[in-house]
Amino acid sequence: MVTKATNLGRNGVSDWIMQRASAVILAAYTVFVVGYLLLNDVDAAMWQGLFSSLPMQIFSMLAVLAFVAHAWIGMWTVVTDYVKPIRVRYAAIMAIALILFAYLVWGVAVVFGN
């Protein structure tokens, strides 16, 4: 029987959809930031103004959450597919979870910190 550790009771299709949705969010964020840089003569004040606006903070936080979700699903899949010893697998999953949690906390601090 397959355990459902990544999805809290949903099936693999919902993981697949979540990973694709997070990839779209990350792609949109990347295109926006790169487009903004290419279309504007950006200085520090302009850059700070962009990222201090509430819509950009929300978009940035959405990108951080998408990154964490995308990385969790992808790394969980790789570890469960290729790491066979149970203790090593659990240690790797725990390390990945801690690192992603740290990235999430750091992302919130960066996006909403003043």
28-46 tens-digit pLDDT: 999 999 999 999 999 999 9
Instruction: Kindly report the pTM of this predicted structure.
Output: 0.86
DSSP for 30-91, written as a single string: HHHHHHHHHHS---HHHHHHHHHSHHHHHHHHHHHHHHHHHHHHHHHHHHHHH--SHHHHHH
> Using CA atoms, how far apart are residues 18 and 12, in angstroms rounded to an integer?
10
55-100 tens-digit pLDDT: 999 999 999 999 999 999 999 999 999 999 999 999 999 999 999 9
Is residue 90 annotated as involved in ligand binding? no
Fold of 12-112: 3 helical TM bundles of succinate and fumarate reductases (1.20.1300)
Is residue 70 annotated as involved in ligand binding? yes
